[in-house]
Amino acid sequence: MPTRLTKTRKHRGHVSVLMATRIFIKNLFDSLYGKSSLTEAMDMKWEFTKLNHLIQTGKGRVGKHRKHPGGRGMAGGQHHHRTNLDKYHPGYFGKVGQRYFHKQQLHFWRPSLNIDKLWTLVAEEKRDEYLKSASSSAAPVIDTLAAGYGKVLGKGKLPQVPVIVKARFVSKLAEEKIRAAGGVVELIA
């Protein structure tokens, strides 16, 4: 019985009767049902079967196709793979900032709202009434916390209509602009 090393060139293009049958069945299946995972699996098997008579199956004699020549995963990131990590993944190793033990994000909840959007929290039908009357006796109360905002900031212009603003936090500029319009800021917990 000859060994695999003694196979000659005449065997290279040889397809057995069994393989020809498989190809025929695969093509028939494709034409009837379309491409499927079964035919893809058969394709894959055929790709490897084509390489069966070759000794190295396309991976080369010299380097040899071994399991994990560079180590598994991120092995060697600070050693033999350092060039790749430094070039394509700068900042992968190391730490940044300081630790905060048992950080509860709810303590830092503070969505902000600028005063130019303050009047959007008043209902549309009432908004027109308040803007027309503009009296300090019937000033609208805008509760920013109930609307889901934690802080009022001072960007934009405010109509010259007195308004009572309830908020947890208010910036200095926002407070000045609300007071200038004849309004009042009321801090709530």
Q: Are residues 115 and 45 in the same domain?
A: no
Higher pLDDT among residues 70 and 3, named by residue: 70
What does the block give as tokens for 142? Answer: 């805008």
| CATH assignment of the domain containing 116 | 3.100.10.10
Q: What is the pLDDT of residue 14?
A: 55
- Assign 136 to helix, strand or coil: coil
The answer to whether 169 and 151 have CB atoms below 8 angstroms apart is yes
Q: Report how far apart the first and last C-alpha atoms of the chain are (Å, whole number).
A: 92
Residue 78 belongs to a domain: no
Q: Domain tally for the chain?
A: 2
Residue 165 belongs to a domain: yes
- Alpha-carbon gap, residue 65 to 68, rounded angstroms: 9
Residue 116 belongs to a domain: yes
Residue 137 belongs to a domain: yes
Q: Mean of the per-residue pLDDT values for the chain?
A: 86
In terms of Cβ atoms closer than 10 Å to its own Cβ (0-12, 13-18, 19+), residue 3 is exposed
Q: Are residues 113 and 53 in the same domain?
A: no
pLDDT of 91 over the 60 cut: yes
pLDDT digits over 127-147, tens only?
Answer: 988 888 877 678 999 999 999
Q: Are residues 55 and 116 in the same domain?
A: no
Q: Taking residues 148-172, what's their average pLDDT? A: 96
Q: Which residue has the tokens 């926002």?
A: 174
- Alpha-carbon gap, residue 70 to 67, rounded angstroms: 9
Out of 43, 60, 77, a domain closes at: 60
DSSP state of 140: P
What does the block give as tokens for 140? Answer: 């609208």
Domain ranges, residue 161: 109-187
Residue 170 belongs to a domain: yes
- Residue 35 Ramachandran class (φ > 0 left, ψ -120 to 50 alpha, else beta): beta
Residues 6+ apart with CB under 8 A from 18: none
Residue 97 belongs to a domain: no
Q: Are residues 179 and 121 in the same domain?
A: yes
Residue 176 belongs to a domain: yes
pLDDT tier for residue 86 given thresholds of 50, 70 and 90: very high
Buried-exposed string 54-75: b where 16+ CB fall within 10 A, e elsewhere: eeeeeeeeeeeeeeeeeeeeee
Q: Are residues 56 and 117 in the same domain?
A: no
Strand order in the sheet with 151-153: 112-114, 151-153, 169-170
Q: What is the pLDDT of residue 160?
A: 92
The answer to whether 156 and 135 have CB atoms below 8 angstroms apart is no
Rounded to two decimals, what is the model's pTM? Answer: 0.56
Q: Are residues 53 and 114 in the same domain?
A: no
How does strand 141-143 pair with strand 164-167?
A: parallel
Q: Are residues 118 and 52 in the same domain?
A: no
